[in-house]
Amino acid sequence: MDSKKVVFSGIQPTGNIHLGNYLGAVKNWVDMQDMYDNIFCIVNSHAITIKQNPKELIQKTLDLACILIACGIDPKKSNLFIQSKIDYHPALAWILDCNIFMGDMTRMTQFKDKSNKNPKNINVGLFNYPALMAADILLYQVDLVPVGSDQKQHIELTRNVAMKFNRDFGECFKIPEPLILKEGARVMGLDDPTTKMSKSATGKNHAIFLLDEPDVIISKIKKATTDSNSNIVFDENRAGVYNLLCIYEVLSKKNRASIEDEFANKGYGVFKNALAEIIIDTLRPIQTKYRELNNDKKYIQEILQNGLDSVLPRAESTYNKAKELIGLL
């Protein structure tokens, strides 16, 4: 029997996980655990390109581990660990930095976007962010990296630097392939359906967070942007209604025709009530599990340590090989 392909995914412990993170990434990770050799990393080192409160960052890192397990990341099937616990990540990033051209870095759209959002904190780490992301992936000889459309450029850079290194210094890195996530899980902001739901958005009704109470969810859905039309149909030109329908489609697992029939001749009020109810039902077991886990910090620490112990030899082996090939003692 062939060994399973290795999949790597990372998520930052900044902000709070929202419905878009869950449907666009975490739910996919949970659903594909039986198919792959999974490595899930809480990329807290990436978080410090923006100034963080140190105590809050530590707490958010552990809270994120708790939430991921509550969502269904199974330590018997997947390795979950904290990025900063393995120093080979920044060490390999430096080697990659020395093999990535400035022109390639300056073309990275996320650097431009984040620089515009934080013009007073355009630091070197923010510029070099893609090298650390490439190191995260290449350390573990990864076959596949689940990505959305906004991360494809990072995977291309990772592939390019790996191929360049292998050509210039000798075979070292496996060339990862993007694993394009299934369509229909791109969740937009409730207050502005033209922008992707974001952890960093400041609008009170922008996102539904996984730990939101039922009354908060109901309130946010009721205030979600729609339009002046009355028919409830999947029409991409009607961004607000389309976004809400797509969320309902993913959570209900119904097809679009049956959803349109379900809400034919019914107003937005009826549809929004149904949507809020299915979101609450989806998040309830996650919230219950989170509260249980949050009271057992030792168990969370054990899972993180086991994940670390499992992946560390892979990282060490890859780094030492790269280090030797490039001529470092």
Q: What is the pLDDT of residues 101-119, one digit of tens each?
A: 988 888 887 777 777 777 7
With a CB cutoff of 8 Å and minimum separation 6, the contacts of 118 are: 50, 126
pLDDT higher than threshold 50 for residue 233: yes
199 catalytic per annotation: yes
Confidence of residue 2 (pLDDT cuts 50, 70, 90): low
In contact, 131 and 164? CB cutoff 8 Å: no
What confidence tens digit (pLDDT) does each residue in 40-58 have? 999 999 999 888 999 999 9
Pairing mode of beta strands 177-180, 6-11 = unpaired
Task: Compute the distance between CA of residue 20 and CA of residue 272 in angstroms, rounded to an integer.
Answer: 17
How far is CA 47 from its chain centroid? Answer: 13
Of 199, 254, 266, 289, catalytic: 199
Question: Is 114 among the catalytic positions?
Answer: yes
Contacts of the segment 254-263: beta carbons below 8 A, 24+ positions apart: 259/234, 260/232, 260/233, 260/234, 263/232
Locate all alpha helices (DSSP H) within the chain, ordered by sequence.
19-21, 27-31, 44-47, 54-71, 88-97, 102-106, 109-117, 124-138, 152-169, 214-222, 239-252, 256-262, 268-294, 297-326
Q: Give the mean pLDDT of the chain.
A: 92
Gap between the Cα atoms of 199 and 47, Å rounded: 13
As a whole number, mean pLDDT of residues 85-100 equals 97
Nearest to 311 by CA among 77, 81, 12: 81
Reply yes or no on whether the pLDDT at 23 is more than 60: yes
- Selecting among 196, 222, 289, 323, the annotated active-site residue is 196
Residue-range domains of the chain with CATH: 6-185+297-326 (3.40.50.620), 214-291 (1.10.240.10)
Nearest to 135 by CA among 167, 179, 87, 170: 87
Antiparallel, parallel or unpaired: β 37-42 and 6-11? parallel
The mean per-residue pLDDT over the stretch 160-186 comes to 88
What is d(CA 252, CA 306) in angstroms, rounded to the nearest whole number?
Answer: 35
Q: What is the DSSP string of 131-199?
A: HHHHHHHHTTT-SEEEE-GGGHHHHHHHHHHHHHHHHHH-S-----EEEEPPTT--PBPSS-TTSB--S
pLDDT of residue 1: 41
Instruction: Please tell me the distance from the alpha carbon of residue 126 to that of residue 188, in angstroms, as a whole number.
Output: 25
User: Is residue 306 over pLDDT 60?
Assistant: yes
Q: Cα–Cα distance between 316 and 91 in angstroms, integer? A: 11
Q: Are 157 and 95 in contact, with CB atoms under 8 Å apart?
A: no
- Which residue among the candidates 27, 60, 114, 220 is catalytic per the annotation? 114
Whether 323 is catalytic is no
Confidence of residue 244 (pLDDT cuts 50, 70, 90): very high
111-to-108, 114, 282 alpha-carbon distances in Å: 6, 5, 35
Average pLDDT over residues 286-314: 96
Rounded CA separation 78/40 (Å)? 7
48 contacts 185 by C-beta, under 8 angstroms:
no
